[in-house]
Homo-oligomer: A and B are copies of this chain.
Amino acid sequence: MDYNEVAKVLAESLPYIQKYRGKTIVVKYGGSVMKDEELKRCVINDLVLMKCVGINIVVVHGGGPFISSHLKKLNKKSIFIDGLRYTDDETMDIVQMVLCGKVNKDLVNLIESYGGKSIGLCGIDGAMIEAKKVSSKMDLGRVGEIVNVNTEIINNSIDNGYIPVISSVARGDSGELYNINADTCTFRIAAALKAQNLILLTDVPGVMKDSEDPSTLISELKLKDIPKVYESNIIKGGMIPKVNCCVEAIKCGVKSAHIIDGRVPHCLLVELFSKSGIGTMIS
């Protein structure tokens, strides 16, 4: 591409930068971008770029596959009940070590490598995420649901120029720890921060009428159309909690929530800095 075209592209990004500058965007980091080294580097580059042009970026992550893999090394089976990992105390220790110690700090490390300033946090730091045992028919051990989010430590980080990276681990009233679903964690943090946008990085193109056919992608969903869409059975399987998450975020005041395909290189820039976007936007 010659330099004229490059300049033109950059020049045309102005209205998008103006739109998001000074706003807060909470990104759920997950799926392929966690494992594919190339994609990971694309996403990190873009997060640092967005921070650099004045957008307040907050990253939230889980890390199921890494937990399962480490449990396996310890000859411990991963048990799931209704899609949630049964978390006994020993498993909770592993969740904590893998998420807060490994996945989290590796992300921080990569952001620093791209010239960004980052800080790795979890729900324990500054008593950020208060949780209690999730109520469910079957005992899930240390699986928790969020009671409250204290944003002080996140806001301090943003104000000082850092990208906070947050593991989905929370603490209860008596200091006991909980394993929290990362999607839920993301929307609760977005809501507490009164964020402008919530972005879920997934491994599918977005909400599709026919989940096998990417050409049936629904680019935009209005809150009021959600019930109809549910009725029509378009939203299925793993997409249901993700859409719920977006819907809840919107109800809590987040302006728009995006489910996008992390497998597309630079998916964040494409979604936010171009006219059409590539995933499904719920607003």
Contacts and interface: CB of A to CB of B under 8 A. Distances in A.
Interface residues of A, number: 74
Given A1-B9, A118-B126, A102 B105 contact: no
A278 to B, nearest CB: 7
A258 to B, nearest CB: 15
Contacts of A102: 93, 96-97, 100-101
A56 to B, nearest CB: 14
B13 A49 contact: yes
A9 B9 contact: yes
| Secondary structure call for the A interface | helix
B175 A112 contact: yes
Copy tally for this chain in the complex stands at: 6
Given A109-B175, A265-B4, A270-B3, A162 B10 contact: no
Interface in A26-62: 42, 45-46, 48-49, 52-54
Contact of A52 (B9, B17, B49, B73): B17
Contacts of A73: 74
A8 B6 CA distance: 10
Contacts of A174: 113
B156 A160 contact: yes
B265 A115 contact: no
Given A74-B74, A96-B101, A105-B124, 4 more contacts: A14-B45, A54-B54, A99-B101, A101-B102
Interface of A: 1, 3-11, 13-15, 17-18, 21, 42, 45-46, 48-49, 52-54, 70, 73-74, 93, 96-102, 104-105, 108-110, 112-115, 117-122, 124-127, 152-153, 156, 160, 162, 169, 171, 174-175, 177, 264-267, 269-270, 273-274, 276, 278
Give the top 8 A-B pairs by smallest Cβ distance, nearest first: A101-B101, A7-B266, A97-B101, A97-B97, A100-B101, A9-B9, A113-B175, A7-B269
